[in-house]
Amino acid sequence: MRLVTITAIILVSTLFAATPAAAASGPWQALPDVAPAPADNPTTADKVELGKMLYFDPRLSSSGNVSCFSCHNVMEGGDDHRPTSIGVHGHVGGRNAPSVWNAAFLSSQFWDGRAATLEDQAKGPPANAIEMGMPNLDAVIGRVRNIPGYKPYFEKAFGAGEVVTMDNVAKAIAAYERTLITPNSAYDKYAKGDAQALTEQQVRGLNTFADVGCTSCHQGPTFSGPPLPVGTGFFMKFPTFPDSPYVTKYDFLSDTGRASATKDDADKNVWRVPGLRNLVYTAPYFHNGQVHTIGEAVRIMASTQLNQSLSDAQVADIVAFLETLSGPFPTQQMPRLPPTPGDLID
């Protein structure tokens, strides 16, 4: 587990105060226009096309009616707006669905960081009993192989031969997800030097965000922590101040966080730091989806992580700044999926 020391937190926090004139040369970082891809899975148009098909295809689930899209709606916020997601046969999951938008920039995936890469993450939900409900990954790829129309798309993306594999399913979905990024927000323009991109209140909120210490954790282009090697993850204990009244009110301690994946008591209530982009699209908030407004989330974080009580004016300013992190979404066309054989799903 990689945790930032208190000294490092203080140093990082003091770096981030900015004025419009300092934005271009200061530490505020714009989101890149292209997401990075690993050497063994370069992004290609053919892979993206196949990955989009698989992402939208509910036949990867045991019931034939749950897809990646079911919980990560890319027609809007990349999530499902439920406190926790509903999978096959009405099963209810234990955590709020993270947005898929800009997940390509994270150094680990899932709330507990248990997947190092988008490719690893893509293999998780299909064989999860609550989410997509297939008994194992062999059953998943068996289902895909039994849809004859898929093979030409796999060969186009990966070459000839036995290319309809689970690894290639994951690679294709990950390639598609690396196109789901939202650069060029008002904040991004400001970070690149356009001092007029933000209003006076939004700039005040940006500086308040830094001054009170939010940048201790929420930094970097996605505001999910500093850029780190893939698989490293940027984790923090939440709540840091468990005596905050918000902890009981919103039941923040019942889920042990990263410890549920690592089985290490030292990881109890430790979480991957979530990004803050497109928050206006992704309510409800936090790992259990119990908080419904950005303003309340700001108050909670100030209390539970910084042991501070913010004024209404400070909260309003920070919310105004956070709203500038919503960028334009790429234009998308719904995929056409191969036909279903009559005996594919019982």
Backbone torsions φ then ψ of 72, nearest 5 degrees = -130, 80
Which residue type is seen at 28?
A: W
Contact 131, 122 (CB under 8 A): no
H/E element, 300: helix 294-306
Q: How far apart are CA 6 and CA 91, in angstroms?
A: 40
> Known catalytic residues?
131
Q: Which two tokens stand for residue 59?
A: 């036949």
Distance CA 23, CA 17 (A): 9
Instruction: Compute the C-alpha angle 256/110/336, nearest 5°.
Output: 145
CA distances from 265 to 1, 8, 108 (A): 12, 24, 20
> Distance between CA atoms of 69 and 55, rounded to whole angstroms?
6
- In the numeric block, which tokens belong to residue 75? 């027609």
For residue 237, the 8-state DSSP code is E
